[in-house]
């Protein structure tokens, strides 16, 4: 029996029980009657421990806040959240994914943060028609490239998107050589490649690419090597706790004032306060800046701060927009989210006009078409300097749907 049939029978039984109807063969529930009954199940696979814990919490908080603000229901139905800590473990990803799909029978699967886990999940999702997966962070190019599928959507970015304009920026600022440094896994490898490609368009060249095992933070020997190589600048991707450690070590090694540091904006995002002076003044490129002057952003930041006593960041924006997408889709099908093809149709043509990052639209490969901003850390915030790339669309190489 397919999951859909099972859910429908469950709804019908529920309808009969609550209305006193006897389930007779002539009883054909309307879509609305079906949709009004059982809770919609939203599975969440995100990191709540380790170097990316801050990211997982920011996404979860803001997604739930968005849905709560809309009355805590989707398409009129209540919601059951089932959250699993990904532990940032790629080996555990298939087991965690299958648990949410087969045991919990979720209608939507929200996750992950980590590109390696995203690729593992996408391989499973691509073999199935349901549930619908929404990626609220992981940038794995493959997920909206060769692994793209009708039931996989992303509300965040591809690794190429924020990194490529960062490389262009280094050239525009007059640099000719750089060293790239990151973790050796999907996100790090893809972001460094995109940064080098962007830098190359200005005639710039990387003289050394350094990759550390994920989530290793033993930077000392690598910083000594960078000091000896004396490149014009450094292009780095780290995030969460690892980014704070890298920024602090970079400053402590005496490199901050000698060799300017650049990168996709994750390097300084959400860690401005923890990194303190080590983050101050660093310019990066990302699809968000704290002081973007739009009404949705002002309200979002005030609400987030009031609810969680912390500043909102790009990860919470992605969670918030995931909530918006879920709400939009569930409302459009009158709560009947088991009508997967209809939900997919809505999501494919969705525009998110009220995003704190500014308006964005879904590409044919199911990835946001969005502005990439140039920002600089000042007073513990990401201050907008301008638009680095307007309405940037990922090339989606290898996606058969695009």
Give contact residues for ligand PHB (rule: CB under 6 A). 113-115, 137-140, 187, 239, 266
Instruction: Give SS3 for 108.
Output: strand
Cα separation, 223 vs 226, in Å, equals 5
**Which lies closer to ligand PHB via its Cβ, residue 288 or residue 360?**
288
Least distance to ligand PHB, CB of residue 332, Å:
29
Cα separation, 149 vs 340, in Å, equals 13
Cα separation, 280 vs 278, in Å, equals 6
Instruction: Please state, in angstroms and as integers, the Cα–Cα distance from residue 38 to each residue in 102, 144, 400, following that order.
Output: 18, 32, 35
**Which lies closer to ligand PHB via its Cβ, residue 204 or residue 215?**
215
DSSP 358: -
Instruction: Please state, in angstroms and as integers, the Cα–Cα distance from residue 200 to each residue in 20, 115, 192, 331, 332, following that order.
Output: 70, 25, 12, 46, 45
Least distance to ligand PHB, CB of residue 74, Å:
26
DSSP class per residue in 270-326: T-HHHHGGGTTT-EEEES--TT---HHHHHHHHHHHHHHSS---HHHHHHHHHHHHH
Least distance to ligand PHB, CB of residue 98, Å:
21
Name which of 186, 195, 189 is nearest 231 in CA terms: 195
**Which lies closer to ligand PHB via its Cβ, residue 73 or residue 283?**
283
Least distance to ligand PHB, CB of residue 38, Å:
33
**Which lies closer to ligand PHB via its Cβ, residue 314 or residue 374?**
314
**Which lies closer to ligand PHB via its Cβ, residue 84 or residue 191?**
191
Cα separation, 15 vs 19, in Å, equals 6
Least distance to ligand PHB, CB of residue 27, Å:
48
Rounding to the nearest 10 degrees, give the CA dihedral for residues 125, 128, 129, 130: -60
**Which lies closer to ligand PHB via its Cβ, residue 140 or residue 371?**
140
Least distance to ligand PHB, CB of residue 250, Å:
17
**Which lies closer to ligand PHB via its Cβ, residue 97 or residue 137?**
137
Least distance to ligand PHB, CB of residue 133, Å:
15
Cβ atoms of 199 and 248 within 8 Å: the answer is no
Handedness of CA 92, 142, 338, 68 (dihedral sign): positive
Cα separation, 202 vs 294, in Å, equals 32
**Which lies closer to ligand PHB via its Cβ, residue 76 or residue 146?**
146
Least distance to ligand PHB, CB of residue 8, Å:
36
Q: Could you give the angle at the alpha carbon of 79 between the alpha carbons of 78 and 84, nearest 5°?
A: 170
């Amino acid at each position: 029996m397919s999951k859909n049939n099972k859910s429908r029978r469950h709804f019908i039984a529920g309808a009969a029980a609550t209305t006193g109807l006897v389930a007779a063969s002539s009883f054909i529930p309307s879509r609305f009657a079906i949709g009004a009954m059982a809770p919609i199940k939203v599975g969440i696979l995100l990191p709540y421990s380790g170097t990316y814990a801050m990211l997982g919490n920011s996404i979860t908080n803001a997604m739930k806040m968005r849905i709560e603000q809309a009355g805590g229901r989707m398409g009129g139905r209540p919601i059951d959240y089932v959250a699993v800590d990904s532990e940032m473990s790629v080996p555990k990803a298939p087991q965690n994914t299958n648990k949410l799909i087969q045991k919990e029978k979720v209608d939507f699967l929200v996750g992950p943060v980590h590109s390696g886990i995203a690729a593992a999940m996408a391989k499973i999702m691509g073999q199935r028609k349901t549930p619908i997966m929404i990626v609220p962070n992981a940038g794995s190019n493959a997920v909206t490239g060769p692994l793209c599928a009708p039931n996989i959507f992303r509300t965040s970015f591809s690794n190429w998107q924020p990194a490529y304009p960062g490389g262009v920026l280094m050239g525009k600022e007059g640099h000719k050589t750089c060293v790239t440094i990151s973790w050796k896994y999907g996100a790090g490898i893809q972001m460094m490649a995109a940064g080098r490609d962007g830098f190359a368009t200005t005639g710039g060249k990387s003289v050394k690419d350094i990759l550390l095992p994920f989530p290793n933070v033993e930077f000392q020997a690598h910083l000594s090597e960078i000091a000896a190589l004396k490149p014009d600048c450094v292009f780095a991707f780290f995030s969460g706790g690892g980014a704070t450690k890298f920024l602090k070590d970079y400053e402590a090694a005496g490199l901050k004032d000698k060799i300017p540091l650049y990168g996709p904006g994750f390097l300084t995002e959400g860690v401005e306060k923890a990194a303190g002076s080590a983050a101050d003044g660093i310019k990066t490129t990302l699809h968000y800046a704290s002081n973007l002057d739009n009404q949705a952003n002002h309200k979002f930041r005030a609400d987030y701060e009031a609810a969680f006593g912390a500043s909102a960041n790009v990860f919470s924006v992605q969670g918030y927009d995931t909530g918006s997408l879920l709400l939009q889709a569930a409302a459009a099908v009158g709560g009947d989210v088991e009508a997967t093809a209809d939900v997919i149709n809505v999501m494919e043509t969705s525009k998110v006009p009220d995003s704190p990052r500014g308006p964005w639209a879904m590409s044919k490969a199911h990835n946001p078409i969005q502005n990439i901003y140039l920002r600089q850390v000042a007073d513990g915030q990401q201050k907008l300097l301008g638009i680095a790339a307007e309405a940037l669309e990922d090339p989606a190489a290898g996606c058969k749907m695009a």
